[in-house]
Amino acid sequence: MRATWIVYRKEMVEILRDRRTLIAIALAAVATPIVLTVISQVSTKTATQTYTIGYTGDVPTGLGELLTATNLKLMPVADPAAAAKKQVDIGIAFEPGEVDVYYDPSRQSAQIAQNRLETVLGQYSAAQAAAALQNRGVDPGILTPIHLVSHPLSSPVQAASNAFLSFFLPYILITMIITGGFSAALDSTAGERERKTLESLLLTPAPRSRVLLGKIAAVTTISLVAAVAAIVSMFVALARISLPGGSGHITLSVVAVPLMVWVAVLIAFSFSAVTLALGTLAKTFRQGQAYVTPLYFITIFPASIILFIPDFNPGIAYYLIPILNAVLVLRDAIVHNSVDWTTLSVTTVSLLATGALSWYAALRLFTREALLTRS
């Protein structure tokens, strides 16, 4: 394995002297906290923002104060339906015994205002009904014959934290692993052909399989460094910002951390091999980019879709699909705070097989005569 170590060391030196790779890692480390801070601020602003209600008619006694307390500001208008299109967030016509609400569902502010209004009106109606019953000497408790008592099986704050992490963490991890090693993989394959060092490398007695292993190890390392940089910066940012709604800070469970490391190593290895194989097909760095860029979208697209499906409960066959399986395993570990060994085993085998097959393909490509004669 001496040749593998020699190639690994040389590739690492070259990668660390390559501005493209260093900039990609630095951007990853900086971009993640910025994105999270912006998301946090937007969420906080949405929760505390005051929305305007345009109204006609007489405001029922006490309702105005209740609306103001929930950041809903009343403003008299001539036509609430017309005003709700642009002038105000929501329109109301107070009629005796009836409230007509006008809102545009395509406006996010109208939806939020409408939800708040429904809650306030519900509370106001219940309070009015209770007061009327009490005046007549009737227990207001008859309005709620069944009492709903909730017993959450886990901390709602932790659940919110897990939901947030299960969405962001797999996405950032996979994106950074794939994009972090992208430049290094192409530089060590297509780059060798482009700068005409490949022939000299193949003229050495070092077995080509060992040379390739050294390259895969270097690309895997740099992919992991990029992922670690992004995730560490993500957690540093998360320690400084609150969950949407201000219900606490986000933490990752003890179970998820080692699992995340294991999955990261698997993805980094398998995708280093895949990108090296594609890079070996290319004659130039630019051509390599054309081959590898679609790979990112092909792999990240199904994974992203899954993240948007709430409570998606896949069968074991889904865990055979590389990247998608990594997302699912990570999501399961974060949300349920436990490891399903069957799905983890299938995921491990799938990603190792992807890496091994890609390494074999890269080796076949690396040893074919056309590699030299076509360049």
Partner 1 sequence: MIQAAVAVERLEKTLGKNKVLRGISFRAQPGEIFGLLGPNGAGKTTTLRLISTLLSPDSGTVEVLGFDTREAPEEVRRRIGVVTADIGVYPRLSARENITYFAQLSEVRDSELKRRVDAVIERLDIHSFADQRAESLSSGQKQKLAIARAIVHDPSVLMFDEPTSNLDVLASREVREFMVESKDRGKCVIFSTHVLHDAERLCDRITILHEGQVVASGPTAEVRGGKPELEDAFLDLVGAS
Q: Is 3 in the site for partner 1 (CB under 8 A)?
A: yes
Residues 180-209 binding partner 1 (CB under 8 A) are: 192, 195-207
Alpha-carbon distances, residue 136 vs 62, 98, 110, 191, 299 (angstroms): 21, 23, 38, 88, 67
Report in angstroms how near the CB of residue 33 gets to partner 1 at its nearest.
30
Nearest approach, Cβ of residue 271 and partner 1 (Å): 23
Kind and range of the H or E element at 92?
strand 90-95
Please classify residue 78 by burial: count the beta carbons closer than 10 Å to its beta carbon, then call 0-12 exposed, 13-18 middle and 19+ buried.
exposed
- 3-state class (DSSP) for residue 91: strand
Q: Which of residues 312-371 bind partner 1 (CB under 8 A)?
A: 369
Q: How far apart are CA 17 and CA 342, in angstroms?
A: 42
Residue with smaller CB distance to partner 1, 10 or 107: 10
CB of 279 to partner 1, least distance (A): 16
Query: How far is residue 36's CA from residue 350's CA, in Å, rounded to a whole number?
Result: 32
**Does residue number 13 form part of the binding site for partner 1 (CB under 8 A)?**
yes
14 touching partner 1, by CB under 8 A: yes
Pairing between β-strand 90-95 and β-strand 98-102 as defined by DSSP bridges: antiparallel
Shortest Cβ distance from residue 20 to partner 1 (Å)?
A: 11
Applying CB under 8 A, among 7, 53, 186, 324 the residue interacting with partner 1 is 7
Q: Under DSSP, is residue 51 helix (H, G, I), strand (E, B) or coil?
A: strand
Residue 373 binds to partner 1 (criterion: CB under 8 A): yes
CA distance 233 to 241: 13
Scanning 3-11, 148-156, 169-177, 272-280 for contacts with partner 1 by CB under 8 A, the matching segment is 3-11
Check residue 23 for interaction with partner 1 (CB under 8 A). Answer: no
Beta carbon nearer to partner 1, 148 or 203? 203
**Does residue 17 bind partner 1 (CB under 8 A)?**
yes
Q: For the CB of residue 216, give the shortest distance to partner 1 in the complex, in Å.
A: 17
Helix (H, G, I), strand (E, B) or coil at 52: strand
Q: For the purposes of burial, counting CB atoms within 10 Å of the CB of 105, is it exposed (0-12), middle (13-18) or buried (19 or more)?
A: exposed
Contacts of 307 (CB under 8 A, 6+ apart): 166, 167, 170, 171, 327, 331
Report, in Å, the least distance between residue 375 CB and partner 1.
9
CB of 16 to partner 1, least distance (A): 9
Under the criterion CB under 8 A, does residue 73 sit at the interface with partner 1? no
Residues found near partner 1 in the complex (CB under 8 A): 2-3, 6-7, 10, 13-14, 17-18, 192, 195-207, 369, 372-373
